[in-house]
A = this chain, B = another copy of it.
Amino acid sequence: MTAATAQEFIIGVDLGGTNIVTGALTPDGARTCGVRSVPTDVASGAEGVVDHIVGAIEATIAATMEETGVGRDAFRGVGIGAPGPLDRERGIVIVAPNLGWRNFPLRDRVQDRVKLPATLDNDANCATLGEWWLGAARGARHVIGLTIGTGIGGGLVIDGRLFHGASDVAGEIGHTTIDMDGRHCKCGNYGCLEAYASGPAIATRAREVLDRDSTASLMPAMVGGDLTRLTAQTVYDAAKAGDRVADEIVRDTARYLGAAVANLLNIFNPDVVVIAGGVTLAGERLFGPLQAEVRRRAFAPAVDAARIVPGILPGTAGVVGAAKAYLEREYK
């Protein structure tokens, strides 16, 4: 295959449980064009979601052609990031609980419809690769990415390449145990990081505290007295407004994340740890105590070597990384 040139574009697709985001990138990463976001509309079923993906890709292509003046032949391929576990080689999503899919051949369905070669990789891997390529971990050698939202995904870049492990499972950091006999996790296990520090887990912990005593916090009033409406965002907003209960919840989150990040530092000794997702809205209130917990738990030479930073490509890291994952597979 010939080397990519700057007149070409690769399309990145980030398939989430709520939205599909697409965009077109030049192979050198210098330009990102035609970024689009459409609802995933899970209820429309797998083929319906494919329709939405194809629609978003076509919208990205049209916008990019208009913006840059290139023709349709400038678009060389499609990199897709999707929830895992998946089989990259065969382009199949094995299980995706949030989409209700099992063994769905997503890559080929998209490839056949848009008439462009496609690749499939894990969404959290793509987000990590995106931050490595054009974001907060640019140019680093060994990078760990954590994306914290409804779940906690992770990805590893080793020597500047995505690391997939023996069967494409590598990077499932959300499902590492930090407390053996701890909280039950959706995965069936006990004490996973995700059971403590995902968005819903943060909200659950806040509700538990408020169920005992709601008088000392602003949060009940913020959700009109209906704690079922409380989200992680409520916690961050309340902490920012000086609410001490919310601040404690954020500090606890930092402790849980800090234990997991310390484990990663001692195992993997990265140059950069990128933390992305809603939790970064808590800002220094989170990153300050997180850094302190990591320093308390990990070996000094590992702590000294690693920057722990928020992602700087919110919304597009997955698209950027999916395009880069395509380039890694097709141009090497």
Contact = CB atoms under 8 A, between A and B. Distances in A.
Number of copies of this protein chain within its complex: 2
Nearest to A270: B166
Contacts of A150: none
Contacts of A68: none
Most chain-B Cβ atoms within 10 A of its Cβ — which of A94, A172, A256, A266? A266
A177 interface: yes
A124 interface: no
Interface in A161-183: 163-173, 175-182
A97 interface: no
A298 B167 CA distance: 13
Given A158-B163, A167-B269, A179-B179, A172 B305 contact: no
A36 interface: no
Interface of A: 85, 94, 141-142, 154, 156, 158, 163-173, 175-182, 187, 189, 191, 255-256, 259, 262-271, 296-299, 301-302, 304-306
Contacts of A296: 189
Contact of A299 (B141, B175, B182, B304): B175
B180 A269 contact: no
Contacts of A304: 167
Contacts of A271: 166
12 contacts: A85-B301, A142-B165, A158-B158, A167-B269, A167-B302, A169-B301, A169-B305, A170-B269, A178-B178, A179-B181, A191-B259, A263-B263
